Structure 1
Amino acid sequence: MGEMRRWLAARGRLRFCLTIAAVIALTGACGALLLVPNSVLPKPGAVSADSVVGQARAAVGDPRLDPVRRTMEPFGELAAERVSTGDGAQSLVVGHPGQRRDMEVLAGELPGAVAAVSQVWGRDWAGSAVVVLTANISEFAGLVHAGADLPTEIAAASVADPFVPGTRPTGQRVVFGPDASARVGPDGLRTLLRHELTHVAARAGTVDGAPLWMLEGFADYVAQHGQGHRFAEIAPTLTARLRAGEPPRDLPADREFGGAGAAFAYEQAWSVNQFIAERFGQTALVDLYHRIAAGRLDAAGTDRILRETLGSGRAEFVDGWRGWLAHQVG
C-alpha cells in the first residue's frame, strides 16, 4: 500500500478511485449515512435554504442539491454555485464556504471538461453534473454510499441512483475526497473531473460487472485525451516494466484494479484504449465501449465482440496491443 501511495503522489493524479462500475449496490443518500458509525456523525438538523450560501442563489432551489444537502448540512454551512456547461445545461458545484478556492477551480474546469467528454463520447448525455467537494471522510463516505472502511487512497468517485439499464440515470454526482486538491493539484483535479464525468456520461450504457479494462481505461483515455501528456507521464509503472523487459501478458483482470497492483492495472487499461484509438480510430473505440460495457462477458463473448468491432479476435488483439506497447518506450 505504501508503494501505491508513493506512486499516486508522484504522479499527482490519484486515479485509484471509486467508480460507477465498482459501486454495485446504490442506495439513497440518507441510507448511505447509516453505513457510517453514528459516533462520527453530528446530529442532523432541519434542511433549510438559509444554510446554503453561494454566488447564485438559484442553486438553492435546484432539486439536485437536496440529497447532497441532507448528507452535508450536518457538517456545516454549504456553498453552491451553478455553472453553465453549454447547450443550456447547468452543472452544480457544492462544498463548504472554506472550500471556495477549490470550488472556483472546479467551476472553471467544468465547461471544458464537459466539452472534452462530449467530444469523445458524443452528446447523448445530460452534459451536466453535480460536483461535490467534501470536508471529511465521513461526509465523503456518505455521499458515495460507502462504509467507514473507505480506503484513504480514494480521491474521487462518481455514483448514481439505482436505475433500469437503458434509461436515463438520476442522482448522478462526482464527489471529491476531503484532501483531493492538496494531493493532486489543479492538473490532477482536471484529470479526475474528466475521468469521473466520463463515467457519468456513459452510465446509461454501462452494466455493473462489465470488464474494468474497458470501463476504467476508457475513462482515463477521455481524461487524458488532448492534454499533451507523454506516455511515460501517464503510465510510469507500465513504462518501467516495459523498459525492464516485462510487458503485460494479457488484459488486466478486474481483481487487479484493487490493492497494491491497482496503479499498474489502471495504466494498462488506459494504454489498451489508447492503442485502440490510434490503431482503429476513436469512433471504433467508442463503439467498442458500447458493446463491451453492455454486459458481463466471458472470454468467448469478448472474442466475438472484438472480431465484430475491430476485425480481430482476442488473442490477435492482445498481441497487437503488446506490439504497440513495445514502440512506446525508448
Structure 2
Amino acid sequence: MAGRGRVSKSSVTVVCLLLASLTACGGPSAADTAKAEVQRVLDRRAAAVLHHDVAAYAATGARDLYTRLRAVPLTDWSYRLKSLRRSGDTAVAQAEMRYRVTGYDKAPVTAGRTLTLSTGVDGKWYVDSDRPVKKSAEQLWDQGTVSVVRGRRSLVLGVGHGDAVLRGYAGLADRAIPAVSDAWGTDWSRQVVLLVPKSLEGMAGLLGSPASNYRGIAAVTTGETGGAGRAPADRIIVNPAAYGMLGSLGKQVVLTHETTHVATRAHTNAATPLWLSEGYADWVGYRGTGRPPDQVAPELRRAVTDGGVPAALPSDEDFGFAGDPFRLARAYESGWMACRMIADQWGERRLDDFYRSVGAHGTREGAVEDALRKVLGTTLDGFTEQWRAYLVRQLG
C-alpha cells in the first residue's frame, strides 16, 4: 500500500516536459506578440488616415506622411504586416499597403512598404518612418505634400505645382474624355487620375525606373495592359519638363492619347502588339485635328522619302524608351499610320472592332492574323503591303 504514494524521478521529468510543451503551445511567443502589437498600431494609423484624425495618427508615431497625403480623397487605406524583424526596442516591418482613391479606383492599389518602429517609455510601438520597399515605385506623397484639383471627370494630384497649373491639366483631361468616348465608345469609366510630380526624377520615382528611360517622354499611363476591367484606375503620370515644352495642341494630343489607354485597358492585353495599342492611341489623339501625315510623322516621312520604306510593322522592341529616339519616333508614327489606314480604307468602326478582336484572342500568337481575317478580310502579308503602299502615297 505504501508504494501507491511514490512517484519515480522519470515520471516527474515526463510531467514537467509535458507541462512545458502545453505552455509553449498554448501561449503566444514574444515575436508573435510583437507582430500583433505592430499590426494594431498600423490598423489605428490607417483608421486615422480615413477619418482625417491627425491626433490619432500622431499618437501612432511620425505624422509627416499624413501631412503630405491629407488632401487625397481616400475610401480605403490599410496595412497588412508581412514580416517583422526586431532588435531590442527597434524593429523593421515589411507590409503591404492597400488604398483606393474615392470615386476612381475600382479595386485597391497595392504597394510594398518598409516601416521602422521603436518602443516608447510606455513600452508601446511607434512608427518612425514609412517608405517604399527598396527598388520599388514611390507613391506621390512620398515626394512631398500633395495638392488636389478636381475637374468635371478628372482628378489631378500634384507635388510642387500651384492650383492654377493643376487646373490646366484638369481642363485638358476633361476635353480628352469626350474625344476618346466619341472614337472608342462609352463602355469605360470616362474618368481619369493624373499624377503631376515636380520633375522628371519624380516621374521616374513613381514608375520605379531610371529617369533616363523617360527623358523626352511627356506622359505615360500605368497598367494599360492586362486589366480585364478589374484593375484599379490607371494613372496618367506626367513628365512636367517634357510636357511643358509642348504647344497647346501637343499637350491636348498627349492627354487624349494617354486617356485612350485608360479607355481601352479592358481590351488590351498580351495579345495586343504595341504598334496597335500606341498607334490607336495616337490615332484618337490626332483625330479631328486636321494635321496631315507629313506633320504628324516627320521621322517616318524622312525614311520613306530617302527610300527606306519599312519592310514590316514595328516590333514591341522598337518602342523601347531607353533606345534610339528616332527609332522610337518611327515606331509610334508607323503604328499611327497603320491605324489611320484602317480608318481610311475600312472605316472607323472596323478599326475599333479590329482592336477589340485582337485583345479578345488572349495570346499574342495568331491574334493579329485572326483579327485581320475576321474583321478586315485580309492577311498579315496583304495588310503589310497595303500599309507600305499607303506610306508611300501619304509620305513619299
TM range (shorter): 0.7 to 0.9
SS in 2 for 1:131: strand
| CA offset digits 1:212-254 (Å, max 9, x no partner) | 1111111111111111111111100111122222212111111
The number of residue pairs the alignment matches comes to 275
Corresponding residue for 1:79?
Answer: 147
Does residue 282 of structure 2 align to residue 220 of structure 1? yes
Change (3 A) 1:44 1:310: farther
Secondary structure of 1:184's partner?
A: coil
Distance 1:234 1:49 in 2: 40
Q: How does 1:204-243 map to 2 (within 5 A)?
A: 204-208=266-270, 210-243=272-305
Matched, 1:297 2:370: no
1:107 and 2:170 correspond = yes
Per-residue CA deviation, residues 142-167 of structure 1 (Å, 9 max, x unaligned), is 3234356644233211113997x533
Partners of 2:233 and 2:70 lie apart in 1 by 21
Larger radius of gyration: 2
2:10 maps to which residue?
Answer: none
Higher relative contact order (CA 8 A, sep 6+): 1
Q: TM-score, normalised to structure 1's length?
A: 0.75
Map 1:225-264 → 2, pairs under 5 A: 225-258=287-320, 259-260=323-324, 261-264=327-330
Which of 95, 101, 104 does residue 64 from structure 1 map onto? 101
The 3 A distance-change label for structure 1 pair 308 and 166 is: same
The residue type paired with residue 234 of structure 1 is V
Normalized per residue, which structure has more strand?
A: 2
Inter-partner Cα distance in structure 1 for 2:285 and 2:369: 27
Q: 3-state DSSP class of the match of 1:114?
A: helix
The 1-side partners of 2:63 and 2:344 are apart by 52
Contact 1:132 1:173 (8 Å CA) reproduced: yes
Aligned to 1:47, what secondary structure does the other structure show?
helix
Whole-angstrom CA distance in 2 between matches of 1:44 and 1:208: 42
SS of corresponding position for 2:237: strand
Q: In the alignment, what sits opposite 1:152?
A: 215
Per the alignment, do residues 154 and 296 of structure 1 end up closer, same or farther by CA in structure 2, a change over 3 Å counting?
A: farther
CA contact (8 A) 1:44 1:74 kept: no
* Partners of 1:254 and 1:160 in 2: CA distance: 16
Q: Deviations over 1:69-115 (max 9, x none)?
A: x8233433322111113xxxxx2011135343432221111222000
TM-score (norm 2): 0.63
| Equivalent-residue separation in structure 1 for 2:148 and 2:383 (angstroms) | 47
> What secondary structure does 1:221 align onto?
helix
Give, in whole Å, the separation in 1 of the partners of 2:368 and 2:140.
42
| Within-5 A mapping of 1:11-90 | 45-48=64-67, 52=71, 60=73, 63-64=100-101, 71-85=139-153
1:227 aligns to what SS in structure 2? coil
Identical aligned pairs, as a percentage? Answer: 31
- Cα RMSD of the aligned pairs, angstroms, is 2.9
Rounded to whole Å, the distance in 2 between the matches of 1:211 and 1:61 is 35
